[in-house]
């Protein structure tokens, strides 16, 4: 059993990397769908809310925000819900809501970051095992020169390539999503401040 595992370590490493790749793609798609819903222009939402508030339709303004899945709309909706509170309390409540929305946006991004960092090392581990096996085969053959280990080393390097194939897209997408998180966070802060002005919180 141990001999079989030793002989197939390279294949096992590739299977692990294949699983990491599927995991990475799954979370990429899931986060893309989330960010697609979460992003919305704060100015457009505030303009609509401002008009409804000017008409004395606070409930309609909150209903409008609740129907939108965007993070900015959810923050504004929460602010409208607590509009009667003093400015300091409202500011703190909006701050906590922004934190909740940011945590929701950052969900699973740590998995992508971890896969991007770990996958090259898994691939390198597979390569090292393959090279060890290749030189072991050379020692057992009692000669034969580089031709004996050439095939083994070339197969071993596939693991490194596979690790990079998994890691590079994961890192790129992770950085892209983190930039989106920062952009949406700024939108939420700006919208919170402008909402307080619209509400005339004391």
Residue-wise pLDDT tens digits, 150-172 = 777 777 788 899 999 999 999 99
- Residue 162: alpha-carbon gap to chain centroid: 21
Average pLDDT over residues 71-90: 88
Alpha helices per DSSP H over the chain: 2-7, 9-38, 42-54, 58-66, 71-81, 87-106, 109-141, 146-199
pLDDT-wise least confident of 62-71, 106-115, 134-143 = 134-143
* Nearest of 67, 97, 103, 104 to residue 196 by alpha carbon: 97
- Residue 113: alpha-carbon gap to chain centroid: 7
Per-residue pLDDT band at 17 (split at 50, 70, 90): very high
Provide the mean pLDDT of the chain: 85
Residue 61: CA count within 13 A, CB half-sphere: 26
| Domain residue ranges of the chain, discontinuous segments joined by + | 9-197
pTM here is: 0.83
Do the beta carbons of residue 105 and residue 184 sit within 8 Å?
yes
Question: Does residue 201 carry a pLDDT above 60?
Answer: no
pLDDT score recorded for residue 148: 64
Residue range 20-48, pLDDT digits in tens: 999 999 999 999 999 988 887 777 888 88
Residue range 130-154, pLDDT digits in tens: 888 777 777 776 655 666 667 777 7
45 Ramachandran zone, left/alpha/beta (phi>0; psi -120 to 50): alpha
Do the beta carbons of residue 124 and residue 22 sit within 8 Å?
no
Residue 26, both tokens: 């799954």
Q: Residue 202's CB: how many other CB atoms inside 10 A?
A: 8
């Amino acid at each position: 059993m141990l001999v079989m595992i030793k002989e197939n370590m390279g294949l096992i490493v590739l299977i692990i990397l294949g699983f990491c790749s599927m995991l990475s793609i799954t979370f990429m798609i899931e986060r893309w769908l989330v960010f697609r819903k979460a992003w919305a222009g704060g100015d457009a939402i505030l303009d609509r809310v401002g008009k409804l508030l000017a008409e004395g339709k606070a409930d309609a303004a909150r209903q409008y925000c609740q129907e939108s899945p965007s993070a900015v709309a959810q923050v504004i909706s929460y602010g409208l819900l607590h509009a009667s509170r003093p400015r300091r309390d409202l500011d703190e409540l909006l701050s906590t809501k922004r934190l909740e929305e940011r945590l929701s946006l950052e969900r699973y991004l740590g998995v992508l970051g971890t896969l991007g960092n770990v996958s090259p090392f898994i691939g390198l581990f597979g390569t090292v095992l393959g090279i060890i096996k290749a030189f072991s085969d050379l020692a057992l053959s009692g000669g034969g020169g580089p031709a004996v280990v050439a095939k083994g080393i070339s197969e071993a390097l596939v693991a490194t390539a596979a690790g990079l194939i998994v890691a590079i897209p994961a890192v790129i997408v992770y950085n892209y999503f983190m930039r989106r998180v920062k952009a949406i966070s700024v939108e939420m802060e700006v919208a919170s401040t402008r909402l307080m002005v619209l509400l005339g919180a004391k």
